[in-house]
Structures are given as structure tokens and as C-alpha cells.
């Protein structure tokens, strides 16, 4: 996705914008730009690639940089159009009077673009954002008021957006709008700031207003006015930001767990940053220290982990075996350490841990390290014990996870394993998977937007959670690459709600667990379009025949099959291969809302700790 920064005051805007963007680089890395306003004109500067390239451009523009005290900036994660200077933000209208930066995705941009072309708009880029720039400018032509133009335009836009806009005819203000994308207003003395996240402005102010969905704001250097969707001026709620706010603040969420679930779109972007450049480029995994020749000699992979990390490893097994053609064993660390260690120099051992301090996994890694195997560690803590044991360290950089129940760290581990699988395949030069890998890369690029789309439509999940919160037992079923999703969904539910939940491979239901099924047993089935879809559907028929309450999580279901389910949760369309990354968000939310309805301590469930440092 993208990072936004804005400033209006009396200071040198260019310095504040570049500094802010430097703290938002985790949100994008392929291009950047700023717009500086002075004396009724707007100057736009852009550069492809890292932010340093934009800084170099600005060194030749000191005349305007030294005097401009208002501006907006942007750092981009490309979703529409290649990462080029033309596609970089800010975007302008044809008359160059209006300038816009945008975070999010406009779902109906093609329809809007067609209408605007018919109105005479000429498009320069391949982005959906330029559609918004022309649309708002078109509305301004009717209203001659930037606030009104923004309010009118956003009603026509479908999707997610955080907009930050300026117009030459109204030099004393910046207008912002938000729907399903983060945007905060930093409150200063004689100056104000706009940003996608706290790190961009924390050095300038400790006070902020969190813009809510459907709100539009007018930001001047000495005033902030925010209007709701009914154009009613609302009272500003200013919050104090502690210095480490990004680590310890719930950011308006009721629990850290819910906040961390909602961070997962950005977590995916962060993991992919610098590693997945485009579908056409090979995966860049500089942290992995085995040469191509040594990778070709790998005869076996062992994945060792515990709990949620173990489930990530189980999903990784499917994807690594598919693309790298290397057999993968996945084992709980606590079991691995009590049997003979069978490994050698041609064995790649992958240890996975959120904290990097999991005692069982540390012991297992030490045992296998003595066999001269290559040790790769996937962890959220690059300063941990496991990190120090690594031959190859793959930090997931998910940020501090406060809630005991892991959510965003699981997502980060999962995406890291996808990257590793593709990297191994490409280093081995297995050409028969080139098309599949290219398609997977494109889906990974699109994944953050799909996660955020899912997170903006949770009413159905909340209702289902309320409906089933009184049940004492729960079964999750799936097949193939989503079998680990069933296990992780069950774990999340039992961790924070204390409901006795169990995950099974759907084909195993008839080999014993089916005896548990009756009208008091909810069964949640994960069935995505793919090779196991029909088989899981048959297993659902078996459960329904035993009067079980049946919940379906799917990206597609034929009308003839909908009556089979008591409740359905639909996810955005996605391939079966990457579907675990969307399905798990549903299961995390379902567990969260059930626990919330039961009044449980979601962030600190009983008997659990974030880092398990005992065997």
C-alpha cells in the first residue's frame, strides 16, 4: 500500500515531508513524491525507487524547498501500474490546479475513468488514484469549494481510501478524507500534520486526532475542522501520543488483539518489501545464505516450531514441497528433542518462533546444529537467542505483538514461507513452475488489499460469533493447504474463549470424530475453490447428516449448496494456494468476537504467556 504525509504551518515543508516519509517506508518502497505549495502554485517532484532518489531530486530544487511551508507527500506500494515516476504520487488534474495523494484502492475506478474520459479528462498514469484526482477536480468545477468537492466525490467512490488534497485556489488549507484506510491528524501550535501512521509525525507533536471512516477534514495551520458523512461539524477528540505509542497504544481498538488483526495488511506489505519486486522479478532473499549450488544439494527440509508457529510451518510444507520439490517434515519442537536427531549437511532446518526465545525450539535447534545442518530462523525478534543460532536469519518484522494470542506474527511467518518456497524453486531453476510462481507473486501483491477488504466487512462474522458463543465445543475441518488453517483456527478459539475446539483434516472426520457430531456441535468447514473443494463439500454433507451446525468459510459456493450451511462467511476471490492468508483472518476474528461476547480477557488469556521459555 502507501504512506501519506502532509504539513501546513510556517516551517520548511520539504524537510518535514521527507522525514515523515522516511518513517513510512515500511508501507511502500517503489516510488515517492511530494507536492510543495508557494505563492499560489504547486510544484510536484517524484522519483522511482527508494526515498533517497526523491531526496536527490530535491537537492536541485532548493529555491522552492526553502520557501514552501505547505505540502503533501507520498511513498508508494504499487497495486495499479508499474513502479514508475509517472505512476508515482502525487497526481494532478489536467489543469494542474488540484493535487492528490492516496492510500487505498478504488474498486470502481474503471467505471469512473470511462465517465471522466467522456468528460474530457486526459489520463497520464495507469493508477486508480489518478481517477480520484480527476473526479475531485471535476466536482470542484461545479462547487468551487474543495471541501464540498471532496464530500461529493467520495460518495461516488467504492473501496478504501485515505485522501490528502490541495488546490491552488485555496492555498490556506489541506483537505483530507478517509474510508477503510488509516489517517491521523497531528496537532501542533501554529502548524498541523497529516499522516498514515504515528512514526511519521511523532518527532513534531504528541497530540493527534484519529480520523474515522466517512469523515472529511479541513486542515489549516491554526485550525482543524472535521465533518461527518452528513456534513455535520464534529468536536475534535485530541489524544496524547506517548513516545512509544506505536508499540503500546491500542490505537482506538478495544483490544490489542483486534488492533493486531487489523495490522495484517501492512504486515504482509512489510514482509514483501524489498523481497517481492514484481511478478516478473525473482524473489530477493539476501538473508538466506546458502548458494544456489548448495540449495540444489538440499535433500530434506525439517521445520521445527511450537503452537501457532508450528501451524505456519505446516502450511509452509505444502508450498515448499510444491515449488521446491524437496521433502519437508514438520514437527513440534517438544517432540523433536526427545528422539534421535537424523540430519546432515544436506538438511535444511527451519526454526520458527515469534519471540525467538521458545525453549523447546532452541533446544531442538542446538541439537540439529551439531549435525552440521544449515539453520534458517524465522522470527519476529532479530535480537533473540534463536536469531543468534541462525546461519540464515529471516526476520519477519511484524512489529511488537502485545496480545498473547498470535495473529499478525502468524501472518508474517506464513508469508515468509511463501517467499522462501519461491526463492528455493527459482534458485534451483525449476522452470515448470514459472507461471504458477508468477501468478502467486501477483496474488501476494494484491493480498494486503484483500485482507483490508475483508476487515471492513465484519458484521456477518460478529453475528455468527454471537450466535455460537454459547456452545461448549467446536470442530474445524479443511483439507490440503488449509488443514493447518483449521488447526490454527481451533487454537485461536480455545486460547482466548476457552471453548474446547479441535481441528481435523476433513477426510479424517469419518474415522472417529464423527461420533461427536450432533445438534450441539458446530462444525466450521474451510472450502476454497480448488482441487479439494468437492471433497470438503462431501465431508460437509456427512456432518450435516448428523445434525451438526455447519458454518462455511469460502470464496465461492453454488446456489444449490447454500442450503447445506447454517451460516456462511464469504471471503474475497482468491486462489486455493494463497487462501490460508485470508481464511485465517476470518478465524481470528471469529475467535476474537466469541471471546469478547463471553467477556474473556482477550489480550491476556489465562495460563498463557507470549514467550514460552520453559520446556
DSSP, residue by residue, 173-204: -EEEEEESS--EEEE-SS-EEEESSGGGTTTT
Q: What are the C-alpha distances in Å from 193 to residues 66, 285, 373?
A: 19, 36, 51
pLDDT of residue 601: 87
SS3 sequence of 75-115: EECCCCCCCCCCCCCCEECCCCCEEEEEEEEECCHHHHHHH
Of 220-229, 238-247, 366-375, 406-415, the one with minimum mean pLDDT is 238-247
pLDDT tier at 49 (50, 70, 90 boundaries)?
A: confident
Please give the DSSP secondary-structure letter assigned to residue 453.
Answer: H
Q: What are the C-alpha distances in Å from 432 to residues 101, 457, 531?
A: 41, 38, 19
To which residue does cell 479528462 refer? 121
Query: Is it the case that residue 267 has pLDDT exceeding 90?
Result: yes
Q: How many residues does the chain have?
A: 615
Sign of CA dihedral 316, 318, 320, 323: negative
> CA-to-CA distance for 360 and 555, rounded, in angstroms?
37
Of 39-43, 179-183, 228-232, 507-511, the one with minimum mean pLDDT is 179-183
> CA-to-CA distance for 114 and 7, rounded, in angstroms?
33
pLDDT of residue 520: 94
| Vertex 612: Cα angle to 611 and 615 (nearest 5) | 160
Query: Is it the case that residue 611 has pLDDT exceeding 60?
Result: no
Question: pLDDT tens across 65-81, in order?
Answer: 999 999 999 998 777 88
Indicate the class that CATH gives domain 457-597.
alpha beta
Mean pLDDT of 359-375: 90
pLDDT of residue 613: 37
Please give the DSSP secondary-structure letter assigned to residue 529.
Answer: S
Query: Is it the case that residue 398 has pLDDT exceeding 60?
Result: yes
Give the three-class secondary structure for 404: coil
- More reliable by pLDDT, 563 or 23: 563
Task: Name 477's bridge partners.
Answer: 504, 525
Whole-prediction pTM: 0.68
Considering the chain, tell me which residue range(s) the CATH 3.40.50.10490 domain(s) occupy: 259-454, 457-597
- Which of 39-48, 85-94, 318-327, 511-520 has the highest average model confidence (pLDDT)? 318-327
Of 61-70, 110-119, 247-256, 373-382, the one with minimum mean pLDDT is 247-256
Question: From the centroid of its chain, how far is CA 609?
Answer: 25
Catalytic sites, residue numbers: 2, 610
The answer to whether 323 and 316 have CB atoms below 8 angstroms apart is no
> CA-to-CA distance for 140 and 134, rounded, in angstroms?
10
Query: Is it the case that residue 243 has pLDDT exceeding 80?
Result: no
The answer to whether 30 and 1 have CB atoms below 8 angstroms apart is no
Please, how many CA atoms are within 13 Å of residue 514, restricted to the half-sphere of its CB? Answer: 15
To which residue does cell 445438534 refer? 519
Question: From the centroid of its chain, how far is CA 578?
Answer: 14
Helical H segments across 196-263, by residue range: 245-248, 256-262
> CA-to-CA distance for 258 and 11, rounded, in angstroms?
37
Question: pLDDT tens across 84-121, in order?
Answer: 888 989 999 888 899 999 988 898 988 988 888 899 88
- More reliable by pLDDT, 24 or 312: 312
Burial of residue 169, with CB atoms counted within 10 A of its CB: 0-12 exposed, 13-18 middle, 19 or more buried: exposed
pLDDT tier at 246 (50, 70, 90 boundaries)?
A: low
The answer to whether 200 and 23 have CB atoms below 8 angstroms apart is yes
- More reliable by pLDDT, 614 or 384: 384
Query: Is it the case that residue 549 has pLDDT exceeding 90?
Result: yes
Average pLDDT value over all residues in the chain? 90
**How does 563-589 read in b/e, with b if 16+ C-beta sit within 10 Å?**
ebbbbbbebbebebbbbbbbbbbbbbb
Q: Name which of 539, 537, 531, 572 is nearest 558 in CA terms.
A: 537
End-to-end Cα spacing for the chain: 40
Quick one: which H or E segment has residue 233?
Answer: strand 233-234
Please, how many CA atoms are within 13 Å of residue 596, restricted to the half-sphere of its CB? Answer: 18
pLDDT of residue 45: 94
pLDDT of residue 383: 65
Is the backbone of residue 93 left (phi > 0), alpha (psi -120 to 50) or beta? Answer: beta
Joined grid coordinates for residue 376: 534458517
Q: Which architecture does CATH list for 3-247?
A: 4-Layer Sandwich (3.60)
Task: State the CB neighbour count (10 A cutoff) for residue 519.
Answer: 9
Query: Is it the case that residue 28 has pLDDT exceeding 70?
Result: no
To which residue does cell 476457552 refer? 498
Question: pLDDT tens across 459-498, in order?
Answer: 999 999 999 999 999 999 999 999 999 999 999 999 999 9
Query: Is it the case that residue 410 has pLDDT exceeding 80?
Result: yes
pLDDT tier at 1 (50, 70, 90 boundaries)?
A: low
pLDDT tier at 27 (50, 70, 90 boundaries)?
A: low
Query: Is it the case that residue 418 has pLDDT exceeding 80?
Result: yes
Query: Is it the case that residue 359 has pLDDT exceeding 50?
Result: yes
pLDDT tier at 536 (50, 70, 90 boundaries)?
A: very high
Mean pLDDT of 301-308: 96
Query: Is it the case that residue 314 has pLDDT exceeding 70?
Result: yes
To which residue does cell 534458517 refer? 376
> CA-to-CA distance for 522 and 122, rounded, in angstroms?
55
> Secondary structure of the chain: what % helix, strand, coil (to 5)?
40, 20, 40
Task: Name 550's bridge partners.
Answer: 523
pLDDT tier at 83 (50, 70, 90 boundaries)?
A: confident
pLDDT of residue 599: 95
**How does 185-208 read in b/e, with b if 16+ C-beta sit within 10 Å?**
bbbbeebbbbbbbbbbbbebbbbb
Burial of residue 430, with CB atoms counted within 10 A of its CB: 0-12 exposed, 13-18 middle, 19 or more buried: middle
Indicate the class that CATH gives domain 259-454.
alpha beta
Query: Is it the case that residue 533 has pLDDT exceeding 90?
Result: no
The answer to whether 89 and 129 have CB atoms below 8 angstroms apart is yes
pLDDT tier at 302 (50, 70, 90 boundaries)?
A: very high
Amino acid at each position: 500500500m502507501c504512506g501519506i504525509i502532509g504539513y501546513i504551518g510556517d516551517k520548511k515543508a520539504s524537510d518535514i515531508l521527507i522525514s515523515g516519509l522516511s518513517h513510512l517506508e515500511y508501507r511502500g518502497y517503489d516510488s515517492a513524491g511530494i507536492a510543495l505549495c508557494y505563492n499560489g502554485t504547486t510544484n510536484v517532484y517524484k522519483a522511482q525507487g527508494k526515498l533517497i532518489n526523491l531526496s536527490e531530486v530535491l537537492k536541485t530544487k532548493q529555491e522552492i524547498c526553502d520557501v514552501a511551508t505547505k505540502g503533501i507527500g507520498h511513498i508508494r506500494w504499487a497495486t495499479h501500474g508499474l513502479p514508475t515516476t509517472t505512476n508515482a504520487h502525487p497526481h494532478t488534474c489536467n489543469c494542474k490546479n488540484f493535487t492528490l495523494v492516496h492510500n487505498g484502492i478504488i474498486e470502481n475506478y474503471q467505471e469512473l475513468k470511462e465517465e471522466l474520459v467522456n468528460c474530457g479528462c486526459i489520463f497520464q498514469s495507469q493508477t486508480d488514484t489518478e481517477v480520484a484526482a480527476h473526479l475531485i477536480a471535476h466536482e470542484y468545477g461545479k462547487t468551487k469549494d474543495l471541501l464540498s468537492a471532496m464530500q461529493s466525490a467520495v460518495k461516488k467512490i467504492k473501496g478504501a481510501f485515505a485522501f490528502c488534497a490541495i488546490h491552488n485556489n485555496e492555498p490556506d488549507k489541506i483537505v483530507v478524507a478517509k474510508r477503510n484506510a488509516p489517517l491521523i491528524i497531528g496537532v501542533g501550535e501554529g502548524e498541523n500534520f497529516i499522516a498514515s501512521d504515528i512514526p511519521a509525525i511523532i518527532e513534531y507533536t504528541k497530540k493527534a486526532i484519529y480520523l474515522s471512516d466517512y469523515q472529511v477534514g479541513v486542515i489549516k495551520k491554526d485550525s482543524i475542522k472535521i465533518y461527518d458523512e452528513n456534513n455535520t461539524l464534529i468536536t475534535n477528540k485530541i489524544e496524547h501520543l506517548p513516545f512509544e505509542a506505536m508499540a503500546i497504544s491500542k490505537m482506538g481498538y478495544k483490544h490489542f488483539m483486534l488492533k493486531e488483526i487489523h495490522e495484517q495488511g501492512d504486515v504482509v506489505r512489510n514482509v514483501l518489501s524489498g523481497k517481492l519486486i514484481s511478478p516478473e522479478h525473482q524473489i530477493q532473499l539476501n538473508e538466506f545464505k546458502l548458494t544456489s549450488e548448495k540449495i540444489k544439494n538440499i535433500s530434506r527440509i525439517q521445520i521445527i516450531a511450537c503452537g501457532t508457529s508450528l501451524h505456519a510451518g505446516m502450511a509452509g510444507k505444502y508450498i515448499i514441497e510444491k515449488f521446491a520439490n524437496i521433502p519437508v517434515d514438520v514437527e513440534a519442537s517438544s517432540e523433536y528433542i526427545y528422539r534421535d536427531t537424523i540430519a546432515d549437511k544436506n538438511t535444511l532446518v527451519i526454526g520458527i518462533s515469534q519471540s525467538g526465545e521458545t525453549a523447546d525450539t532452541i533446544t531442538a535447534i542446538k541439537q540439529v546444529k551439531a549435525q552440521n545442518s544449515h539453520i534458517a530462523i524465522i522470527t519476529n525478534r532479530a535480537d533473540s537467542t534463536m536469531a543468534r543460532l541462525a546461519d540464515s536469519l529471516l526476520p519477519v518484522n511484524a512489529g511488537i505483538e502485545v496480545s498473547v494470542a498470535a495473529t499478525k506474527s502468524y501472518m508474517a511467518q506464513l508469508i515468509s514461507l511463501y517467499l522462501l518456497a519461491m526463492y528455493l524453486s527459482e534458485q534451483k531453476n525449476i522452470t515448470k513452475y514459472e507461471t504458477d510462481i508468477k501468478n502467486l507473486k501477483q496474488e501476494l501483491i494484491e493480498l494486503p488489499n484483500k485482507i483490508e477488504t475483508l476487515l471492513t466487512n465484519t458484521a456477518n462474522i460478529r453475528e455468527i460469533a454471537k450466535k455460537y458463543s454459547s456452545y461448549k465445543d467446536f470442530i474445524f475441518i479443511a483439507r490440503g493447504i488449509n488443514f493447518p488453517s483449521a488447526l490454527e483456527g481451533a487454537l485461536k478459539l480455545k486460547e482466548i474463549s476457552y471453548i474446547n475446539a479441535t481441528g481435523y483434516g476433513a477426510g479424517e472426520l469419518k474415522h472417529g470424530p464423527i461420533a461427536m457430531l450432533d445438534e450441539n456441535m458446530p462444525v466450521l468447514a474451510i472450502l476454497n475453490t480448488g482441487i479439494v473443494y468437492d471433497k470438503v463439500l462431501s465431508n460437509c454433507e456427512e456432518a450435516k447428516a448428523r445434525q451438526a451446525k455447519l458454518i462455511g468459510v469460502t470464496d465461492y459456493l453454488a446456489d444449490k449448496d447454500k442450503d447445506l450451511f447454517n451460516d456462511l462467511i464469504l471471503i474475497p476471490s482468491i486462489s486455493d494456494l494463497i487462501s490460508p492468508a485470508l481464511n485465517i483472518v476470518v478465524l481470528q476474528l471469529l475467535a476474537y468476537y466469541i471471546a469478547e461476547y463471553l467477556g474473556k480477557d482477550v489480550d491476556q488469556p489465562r495460563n498463557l504467556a507470549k514467550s514460552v521459555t520453559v520446556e
